[in-house]
Chains A and B, each alone.
Chain A
Amino acid sequence: MTTIDYIMIVLSALLLVIAFLAVSEKKLIKSVIFLSAVSMLSVVAFVVMKAPDVALTEAVIGSGLVTALFVFTLLSIKKEEAK
């Protein structure tokens, strides 16, 4: 077992726990934030596995843009609900 293995074990555990929280959380906004966290952790996984290109793309597109789109959707739904 090398250091990289220990990092991967911790990473795997975190990924699984947060992913489970994301799918079972009742509050929508929390669920979206957990999804964003899973995406961020996957960026770390990509870096550990020597894939900088993928990590950069996932960080900008997967983690940034997708979360923003989710939040905008929830925002506009909340607006309509208030009406």
Chain B
Amino acid sequence: MKKLLGFILTIGLGLLIIFALEGNALFDDFGYANLDDRVSSHYITKGSDVDIIFGETVDPESGPANIVTSIVVDYRSFDTLGEVTVLFISALGVSLLLGSAVTQKRLSLDFKPNFMLRVASRALFGIIIMTGVYVTLHGHLTPGGGFPGGTMIASAMLLLYLADDQFRAKIKGFKILEGVAGSLYVVIGLLGLVVGTYFLQNFLPNGTVGDLLSSGIIPIIYILIGLKVGSEISGVIDNFLTEEEKQ
């Protein structure tokens, strides 16, 4: 009874919001977003009056052929620094909450990993790592980037965890990688302040739109993010797959 009341209440609230949006003349209808009224039109044309052509335009305001990447790591790079910080602090928090016990051991799995699983997971490990690296490196050209790329690298580690119930990644190295990659992101930002005038300014040449070696600092930042995310999420997985050793 209580549940039914809650259901009717929340769905009613939803319908109310829907009607409010429907009656809102300024709110663009679904499928008919007017980009000319939005700041996005600037991101698509990269602030230039001439059309940007893939493989031809040299040194536009922002380099990546993937417009979403040019927003994420160039126009709104500060948000991404915050995003990296969120992941950093929650990984830190997870290790604080779960990893505080002095002696820790691997959580044993209910099944014994058999020969096939072991071999197959080794083979897959390389393929997943390669995909992760590819996605990270091509973040400014194709969909993807440091966040999914880094998570793919971490999921390759996850595969090793599942295939071998004694396996534990060496946390020390990950910690250093995490700290150094994060610091380098901020240092690159401060370098922009020193070399140019602005924090996180893209101080390297943008190159030709669509080239692998283009868009200045963006691929570098995405590689740092990939390394950082990969090591952080591996750390989180390790924390979730260990338990306090009980005598």
Q: Give the interface of A toward B (CB within 8 A).
A: 24, 52-53, 55-57, 59-61, 64-65, 68-69, 72-73, 75-76, 79-80
For A72, what are the chain B residues with a Cβ–Cβ distance below 8 Å? 107, 237, 240-241
B151 within 8 A of A: yes
What total of chain B residues lie within 8 Å of the partner, measured CB to CB? 24
Give the segment of B34-42, B141-149, B219-227 that binds chain A: B141-149
Q: Number of contacts between A and B (CB, 8 Å)?
A: 51
For B152, what are the chain A residues with a Cβ–Cβ distance below 8 Å? 60
Chain A: CB-nearest residue to B145: A53
Q: How far is the CB of B164 from chain A (nearest CB, A)?
A: 16
For B143, what are the chain A residues with a Cβ–Cβ distance below 8 Å? 52-53, 55-56
B211 within 8 A of A: no
Chain A: CB-nearest residue to B139: A53
| Cα of A79 to Cα of B165 in the assembled complex, Å | 15
Give B144-183 interface residues, CB cut-off 8 Å to A. Answer: 144-145, 147-148, 151-152, 154-155, 158
Could you show 9 A-B contacts with beta carbons less than 8 Å apart? A55-B143, A57-B145, A57-B148, A59-B148, A60-B148, A65-B151, A68-B155, A68-B158, A69-B240
Chain A: CB-nearest residue to B149: A60
Chain B: CB-nearest residue to A58: B148
The one of A52, A53, A69, A75 in contact with B107, judged by C-beta atoms closer than 8 angstroms, is A75
| Cα of A23 to Cα of B155 in the assembled complex, Å | 27
Chain B: CB-nearest residue to A55: B143
For B236, what are the chain A residues with a Cβ–Cβ distance below 8 Å? 69
A65 touches B107 (CB 8 A): no
Q: How far is the CB of B241 from chain A (nearest CB, A)?
A: 6
For A73, what are the chain B residues with a Cβ–Cβ distance below 8 Å? 240
| Cα of A52 to Cα of B147 in the assembled complex, Å | 14
Q: How far is the CB of B63 from chain A (nearest CB, A)?
A: 16
For B84, what are the chain A residues with a Cβ–Cβ distance below 8 Å? none
Cβ-closest 8 pairs across A and B: A52-B143, A72-B240, A60-B148, A53-B143, A53-B68, A60-B151, A57-B148, A56-B143
A79 touches B233 (CB 8 A): no
B158 touches A53 (CB 8 A): no
For A69, what are the chain B residues with a Cβ–Cβ distance below 8 Å? 236-237, 240
| Cα of A11 to Cα of B145 in the assembled complex, Å | 27
Chain A: CB-nearest residue to B69: A53
